[in-house]
A and B are shown apart, each in its own frame.
Chain A
Amino acid sequence: MQTVAAYIPYPHWLNSGDNTWQLVAATLVGLMSLPGLAVLYGGLVQRKWVVNTMLMAFAGFSMVLIVWVLWAYNMGFSSQTFGLFGAHGTGFFNNLVGKPWPITSHFGEQNQATSLAQTDVPFHFPNATLAYFQVVFAAITPLLFLGSILGRMKFKAWLLFVPLWITFVYAVNAKLLWGGGFFAMKGAVDYSGGYVIHLAAGVTGFVLAWMVGPRLKRDRDHGVPHNLMLVAVGAGILWLGWNGFHGGDPFYAGVDAASAVLNTNLATAAGLLTWMFWDMVGTRQRKPTFLGAINGMICGLVGITPSAGWVDGYGAILVGLICSTIVWVAWNYLSRVRPFSKVDDALGVVYTHGIAGLVGGLLVGFLADPGMVEYIGVGKTPSVVVNGLFYTGSWHQEWEQFLAAVWIICFTAAMTVILATITKLVCRGLREKDAVLEIGDVAIHDEEVYPQETFAERVSAMTSLVDRE
């Protein structure tokens, strides 16, 4: 009897290895947010703020997912151009933002992924894979700047600010650098989000912290972390989750994914050790501290983000060393001068993400090794590489990196002011009342992180049950 294959599992353009890796990588990145950042931040805040911190993380993540599929994904990654103010061609306004459009239809999810940024090498997976991979990037960004405004921002205001920010800041920056937008066309590069994610998160966190105002004086004076073991859990998930962050960004389970993962870990180890070294020689106590090491770890991770697959192993170690050193100096000394001394950036996001992202983005122009091939050229087509100053002697890449950084800082700061002002008007303020801030979680959520059964007596349901008997 002859058997005819009546079904095939997937279309010819799909490669199961690439699709698998991309979905795994996306999930790893998702884990960086939930539970990674939720428990990292939950461990770093005071006991009375843990529930609020975790819920802001989970709610923010959910907010971004919905906004992303309904309109924001296509604003960043659509293959259709959207001529703002009727602009067309290669000018700024025609390449600023994509057309807001949902991707929730059957073809939106199941067609082969396409993007203006990736026209030469076809994707080997469907749009749903790419959209999910990109959404976990988008979703971690508000969770990063959450670290700046912990312990005083109104919960409702957070729920409004996040979708606004994703729409008007993240989607635009993503389009400009990743979605084939203006800066991408000019040649600026951002491997995995040193600018779009970390620099933008640092700037937003700082500006938002300034607009929301500081935590209560008592909370600042007694701002001791409530559980360092949770910090260890969150930080560990963050580090290893970053393998998906960078390993996924070539979009193929190939050679460059492997080198990006290795480089990421090298830079991170170097960053952690560097910060610890400076703590041991450069502080009054001269002691290595766990939280210092975690800061250094984050500096390494963030610093290598713009360059993971374009530098070699030497470059990666240098990135970790330089980023960690610069941020350590900023953390200890820049924090004493205005405006840094005047703004209550609760967890120091402007340093470990803002400055680290900026330094990492600028280092691409110096350290990118043209021998590191992202996509292999066939025949006369040259391979896709990035040319750093140290290898080619050309300042071109560095100049493009600089221009993109200036844009990210200025645009993100200005838009944050505008969006926070709108949020403030709609929500009648950005911060909770002082009476609420004194109590924290119980006042805002009727929950506390370690409820004690000794003190809690169940009302309604139990009593009525007993009454009926």
Chain B
Amino acid sequence: MKLVVAVLKPFKLDDVKEVLKNMGVHGMTLTEAQGFGRQRGHTEVYRGAEYEVDFVPKIRIEIAVDDEQADEVVDAIVGSAATGKIGDGKVWVLPIETIVRVRTGERGTDAL
């Protein structure tokens, strides 16, 4: 089992969610995040003082999937979240040791 983690532009959420739903992904976890990569931050000005805000609002999606499905999910996310501009985000994949569904106690792929 794999954990796909993606940090993306917030306004791309709907597109990504739609594509993942259509390919049969059962669930995902979403967190509002702040981050920066190569994309520059912005300046804010309060009472004449300038503040550099490096961190840009992002969304962080986590999806647990079968080993076979992982690549397909990554491609789907990349395909639907890309705008071609700097700051589109990153996707990475981690191995999962085990998963337990809390309600039933099922383990492993049954719990996905």
Chain A contact residues, CB within 8 Å of chain B: 218, 221, 438, 442, 446-448, 451, 455-462
Contacts and interface: CB of A to CB of B under 8 A. Distances in A.
B88 to A, nearest CB: 14
Interface in B38-71: 42-46, 48-55
A456 B52 contact: yes
A161 B44 CA distance: 27
B11 interface: yes
B102 to A, nearest CB: 30
A456 B11 contact: no
Contacts of B14: 218, 221
A448 B45 CA distance: 9
Contacts of B48: 461
A221 B15 CA distance: 13
The size bracket of the interface on B is 10 to 19
B43 to A, nearest CB: 6
B44 A447 contact: yes
Given A442-B42, A456-B51, 4 more contacts: A221-B14, A456-B52, A458-B50, A460-B50
Contact of B44 (A218, A448, A460, A462): A448
B49 A458 contact: yes
Interface of B: 11, 14, 34, 42-46, 48-55
Contacts of A218: 11, 14
B69 to A, nearest CB: 28
A442 B44 contact: yes
B52 A446 contact: no
B34 A447 contact: no
A459 B11 contact: no
A83 B70 CA distance: 79
In terms of DSSP, what is the predominant structure of the interface of chain B?
strand
Contacts of B54: 455, 457
Contact of B43 (A438, A446, A461, A462): A446
Nearest to B34: A455
A447 B11 contact: no
A446 B50 CA distance: 9
Contacts of A446: 42-45
Nearest to A441: B44
29 contacts: A218-B11, A221-B14, A438-B11, A442-B42, A446-B42, A446-B43, A446-B44, A446-B45, A447-B44, A447-B45, A448-B44, A451-B46, A455-B34, A455-B53, A455-B55, A456-B51, A456-B52, A457-B51, A457-B52, A457-B53, A458-B49, A458-B50, A458-B51, A459-B43, A459-B50, A459-B52, A460-B49, A460-B50, A461-B50
B18 to A, nearest CB: 12
Nearest to B51: A456
A458 B51 CA distance: 4
Contacts of A221: 14
A438 B12 CA distance: 11
A394 B42 CA distance: 66
Contacts of A447: 44-46
Contacts of A456: 44, 51-53
A447 B50 CA distance: 10
A456 B46 CA distance: 11
A421 B53 CA distance: 38
A447 B43 CA distance: 9
Nearest to B45: A446
A451 B44 contact: yes
Contacts of B11: 218, 438
Nearest to A443: B42
Contacts of B50: 458-461
A451 B57 CA distance: 12
A446 B44 CA distance: 4
Contacts of A457: 51-54
Nearest to A447: B44
B59 to A, nearest CB: 13
A461 B44 contact: no
A402 B34 CA distance: 56
Contacts of A438: 11
A313 B49 CA distance: 55
A461 B46 CA distance: 12
Nearest to A460: B50
A455 B42 CA distance: 11
Given A218-B11, A218-B14, A438-B11, A459 B44 contact: no
Q: Sort A-B residue pairs by CB-CB distance and give the 4 closest, nearest first.
A: A456-B51, A455-B55, A446-B45, A459-B50
